[in-house]
Amino acid sequence: MSNIKSYLFILIVLALATFSASAQDTHKVEFFGGYSYLSVDTGLDDFDADFFDSRAGMHGFNGSVTGIVSKRIGIKFDFTTHSKNLFNDSVTDVKFRNNQFMGGVQFKNNEKDGPVLKPFGHILAGVANQRLTCTGDCFDDGLNTSIAETQNNFTMAIGGGLDIKVHPRIDIRAFQIDYNPTFFRADDTLGLDSFTQHNVRIGVGVVIH
């Protein structure tokens, strides 16, 4: 019995030592921040082909925090904000803002002594807070109106990119490309039916461990 206890004790010590060594070999957390470009499937071209475009390119910011749980897996929280003036003339001003809050899983080499080139992928899901505002002749009827419509819609980001290690604690995100579908609900005020926005998100920036 004494020998069995000794063996068990040795096994537990070895297991804890292995876990501790493994934890020391990987980063604990990853912070990302940088520029983001969003190509939005607006769905607004149904109003008038000469008035709105079917797609709008929007500039903004992307930030994320990833908690490392293993050498290849991290749990990620991701935030983006984009905005654009969709249309402006002497009588009408239309602006669009898109904020996204998502969480999910990131797949990447998280080892401290990992390679210089670090491809990664992620699967994220969450909420897109979309706000469309219009002032002036919004319905092309000669009347001066003011509209502010906000929706919270389910959204996803499926994609990845490439990080380049330039310092033990700093990577440069050379590129990130995501398919970013957002499931827009019908809006009676705007006269829009429900549809899937087939958006594309592209980003670059800095990663700090």
Residue (of 195, 121, 93) closest to 151 by Cα position: 195
Within 8 A by CB and 6+ apart from 172, the residues are 163, 164, 166, 205, 206, 207
Q: Where are the beta strands (DSSP E) in 53-186?
A: 55-68, 73-88, 92-108, 117-136, 145-167, 170-184
CA distance 8 to 45: 70
Residue 85 lies in a domain: yes
Residue 132 lies in a domain: yes
pTM equals 0.79
pLDDT(49) > 60: no
Note the pLDDT tens digit of each residue in 161-206: 999 999 999 999 999 999 999 998 877 666 667 888 999 999 999 9
Q: Which domain holds residue 104?
A: 27-208
pLDDT of residue 21: 43
pLDDT of residue 17: 45
Note the pLDDT tens digit of each residue in 61-109: 999 999 999 999 999 999 999 998 877 777 778 888 999 999 999 999 9
| Number of structural domains found in the chain | 1
Q: What is the pLDDT averaged over residues 115-135?
A: 93
* The residue to which tokens 């009408």 are assigned: 92
Q: What is the pLDDT averaged over residues 103-116?
A: 94
Residue 91 lies in a domain: yes
pLDDT of residue 133: 85
- A 10 A CB-CB count for 197 gives 19
pLDDT of residue 1: 53
Residue 96 lies in a domain: yes
Looking up residue 46, the CATH number of its domain turns out to be: 2.40.160.20
Task: Choose from 13-17, 57-61, 90-94 the range with maximum mean pLDDT.
Answer: 57-61
Residue 3 lies in a domain: no
Residue 9 lies in a domain: no
pLDDT of residue 141: 67
Residue 12 lies in a domain: no
Residue 76 lies in a domain: yes
Rounded to 5°, angle at Cα 121 from 29 and 118: 70
pLDDT of residue 42: 75
pLDDT of residue 51: 47
